Amino acid sequence: MAIINTLSKCLDSPYLFEDKEAPKRVGTLMATAADRLEAAANIHSSGQGDQADVSFLSYEAMFSCLRALVYTKGYREAGLRCLMLACESLYVRQGLLDVEFIHTFERSQGLKLKPDEALAGASRFVKRTIELLSAAQ
């Protein structure tokens, strides 16, 4: 299979597809994002527990936001790369989302952020996602 590096190639692949039901899942995804963000903040602020969990939960919050943004446009993913490309095409290139959100997500996925950086990035991502979803309604 060819290298998938554009939204149109993703849509021609099995990794991104239209789904009229996808927007109905956004509420659950945002609830998950809020839950993961709260758990990460609690671990971080209490100083108890494994700080690696702060990073992992922050990543999960950002992942849920990424999915929510793409799902609200009527798409579902079966591959992370296409999910990121869809978000970039639908939001970053449209001037709605700063590319730094995608970069923070990628760095978080690779565990290249300190726990406090991951938490701050997730907090900003959740906030911006809520703003975008609210504006779309």
Q: Please tell me whether the overall predicted TM-score, pTM, comes out greater than 0.75 for this model.
A: yes
Q: pLDDT tens for residues 25-62?
A: 999 999 999 999 999 999 999 988 888 999 999 999 99
The pLDDT mean for the chain works out to 93
d(CA 29, CA 40): 16
- 2 pLDDT more than 70: no
Domain boundaries in the chain?
A: 7-13+21-136
What pLDDT does residue 60 have? 97
CATH number, span 7-13+21-136: 1.20.120
